[in-house]
Every structure is written in structure tokens, then in C-alpha cells.
């Protein structure tokens, strides 16, 4: 994963409202949740919710699938996994091969 990609995802889920959405969807698993259900749980205006969903989609954190009149939001679990890996990978890699030159 590229640094800018990771930073973008982190910035998106770093908003409290969006993190709440992500947590709901993580808990919901592969079945996801309809936008309307998320709105009921979060109690925020639809336009604000759409704004945040747009951000999460653009970062690839979630996707939407239509089921008749309602849109289901689903977590992209693989993206989340990759992000977590990115944050911890190469931990302490420079301890032995210490490069003290700039």
C-alpha cells in the first residue's frame, strides 16, 4: 500500500462521525447496513451522512450496493486489513541495519 493511500484512508476514518459509520459497518459484517439505518443510529441529517459516505467510498473503505429502493453500505474488509498491516509492517526494521547517515 502506498503512503498517500494509507494517509488518505486514515484521514477519512479519522473523522469521528465517519469512524462511527465504519464501526457500525465492521460490526455488521458482510451483509452491511442500509444508509437509512446508519442515519437512524447516528441521528444526523441525510446530507451530512451522504457527505461522509462519499468520503469513505472515495477512499475505498466502503462500497454501496442497491437492494430495491435502499442502498446497502458494506465495509471493504480487505482494505481495512491492508491498512492495519501497513501501520505495523517493518516495525523496528532499522534497529539492526541502522543508517545513521541522513
End-to-end CA distance of the chain: 25
| 30: contact with a copy of itself by CB under 8 A | yes
Binding part of the chain for DNA, among 11-19, 22-30, 80-88, 93-101 by CB under 7 A, reads 11-19
- What is the C-alpha radius of gyration for the chain, rounded to an integer number of angstroms? 17
Of 21, 22, 25, 52, the residue at the interface with DNA (CB under 7 A) is 52
Reference 12, options 43, 65, 51, 44; nearest CA is 51
Q: Give the cell for residue 48.
A: 451530512
| 58: contact with DNA by CB under 7 A | no
- Mask 72-101, x = binds DNA (CB under 7 A)? ------------------------------
| Contact (Cβ atoms closer than 8 angstroms) between residue 22 and residue 56 | yes
* Count of residues interacting with a copy of itself (CB under 8 A): 39
Amino acid at each position: 500500500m502506498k503512503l498517500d493511500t494509507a494517509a488518505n484512508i486514515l484521514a477519512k476514518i479519522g473523522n469521528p462521525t465517519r469512524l462511527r459509520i465504519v464501526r457500525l459497518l465492521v460490526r455488521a459484517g458482510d451483509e452491511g447496513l442500509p444508509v437509512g439505518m446508519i442515519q437512524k443510529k447516528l441521528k444526523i441529517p441525510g446530507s451530512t451522512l451522504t457527505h461522509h459516505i462519499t468520503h469513505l467510498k472515495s477512499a475505498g473503505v466502503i462500497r454501496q450496493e442497491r437492494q430495491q429502493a435502499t442502498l446497502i453500505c458494506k465495509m471493504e474488509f480487505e482494505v481495512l486489513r491492508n491498512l492495519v498491516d501497513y501501520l505495523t509492517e517493518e516495525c523496528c526494521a532499522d534497529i539492526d541495519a541502522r543508517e545513521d547517515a541522513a
